[in-house]
Structure 1
Amino acid sequence: MSARNDIPPDTVGVELLDHGVEVEYIDGRTTLYRGVPEPVTDTLTTPPKKETHVLVTDPTETEGVMLYVNDLKTHDDVLESTGVGRVILDEGEEEELFPGVAVRRLGGMRTEIEADPETARGRVFVFVEDDWSESSYEFVTESEAADRDDAAAAGED
């Protein structure tokens, strides 16, 4: 099987922790995306050649759907056994992954993600990684971003 097929996702378990986001795959294995996600209010553009994983939770924040964007490494059978989906985009292509979550493939092997958490009706996370680093992001509304800024400022006494 080619590693360039779109794969539909299944529902995976999600646990939001103070030190990251844990995902439980349908085969029972778990992975932890470390770190408190950085808030994003509009568009996120990933650096070139980074793996991009998009997770949208349900309103209970205990389960969700995860898609790998332009993943060319993971075999179809592995994705299907874990419940993770995959979407492959050519340069210039755009696709709505979920209601309120769109992804575009830009030039230079970059990916652009836009999300509206209110339309998605859950939390929207993006994990960007390679062999040397990983970053976590969460799409939030402008008011949520302001509330987080206020809370962070209050803690800096």
Structure 2
Amino acid sequence: MSARNDVAPSTLGVELREEGVVVEYLDGRTTLYRGVPRTVSDTLTTGPGKETHILVTDPTETEGVLMYVNDLKTHDDILEQSGVGRVILNADEEEELFPGVTVHRMGGMRTEVAADPDVARGRVFVFVEDDWGEQSYEFVADAS
């Protein structure tokens, strides 16, 4: 099976903890995205070649949907079993993942994420990682 198809996400369990965000996959496994997320209110541009995961919670903050952007490592069947979705974007392509959450694949293997938590009707987290580290971000309503 190809590792380069779009995959629709399922609803996953989410737990917000002091040490980070825990996501429980459909197959019972969990992962912890570590750290207190840095806030961003407009757009976020990732570094080149970074893995980008976007989590949007429901208003209760106990469930959410998780999407991988341009993940070429994980096979479709694994994503489907875990409930994680994936979108593959070509250079300079843009897609609205969820209401209020848009991703744009920029040149140089960078991803730009724009989100409005009010439109998304939940919290919007972006996790950016590679072999050397991970960063967590949360979109907040613009205070201006």
Question: Structure 1 length as normaliser, TM-score?
Answer: 0.90
Deviation of 1:141 after TM superposition, in Å, equals 1.1
Alpha-carbon displacement from aligned partner over 1:7-29 (angstroms, at most 9, x marks no partner) = 00000000000110000001010
Are 2:9 and 1:6 aligned?
no
Deviation of 1:106 after TM superposition, in Å, equals 0.1
The residue that corresponds to 1:112 in the other structure is 112
Alpha-carbon displacement from aligned partner over 1:104-143 (angstroms, at most 9, x marks no partner) = 0000000000000000000000000011100000000133
Are 2:101 and 1:101 aligned?
yes
The residue that corresponds to 1:150 in the other structure is none
Q: Which has the higher helix share?
A: 1
Name the SS for the 2:60 alignment partner: coil
Query: What amino acid does structure 2 have at the position aligned with 1:25?
Result: Y
Q: Which has the larger radius of gyration?
A: 1
The residue that corresponds to 2:132 in the other structure is 132
Identity of aligned residues (%): 75
| d(CA) in 2 for partners of 1:141, 1:121 | 11
Name the SS for the 2:136 alignment partner: strand
Unaligned runs of 5+ in 1: 147-157
Are 2:129 and 1:123 aligned?
no
Name the SS for the 1:77 alignment partner: helix
| d(CA) in 1 for partners of 2:75, 2:140 | 32
Unaligned runs of 5+ in 2: none
- Equivalenced residue count is 144
Query: What amino acid does structure 1 have at the position aligned with 2:90?
Result: D
| d(CA) in 1 for partners of 2:19, 2:142 | 23
Alpha-carbon displacement from aligned partner over 1:75-103 (angstroms, at most 9, x marks no partner) = 11110010000000000100000000000
Question: Structure 2 length as normaliser, TM-score?
Answer: 0.98
The residue that corresponds to 2:50 in the other structure is 50
| d(CA) in 1 for partners of 2:111, 2:10 | 23
Query: What amino acid does structure 1 have at the position aligned with 2:76?
Result: D
Query: What amino acid does structure 2 have at the position aligned with 1:58?
Result: D
Alignment root-mean-square deviation, CA:
0.9
Task: State the 4+ residue runs in structure 1 displaced beyond 6 angstroms.
Answer: none
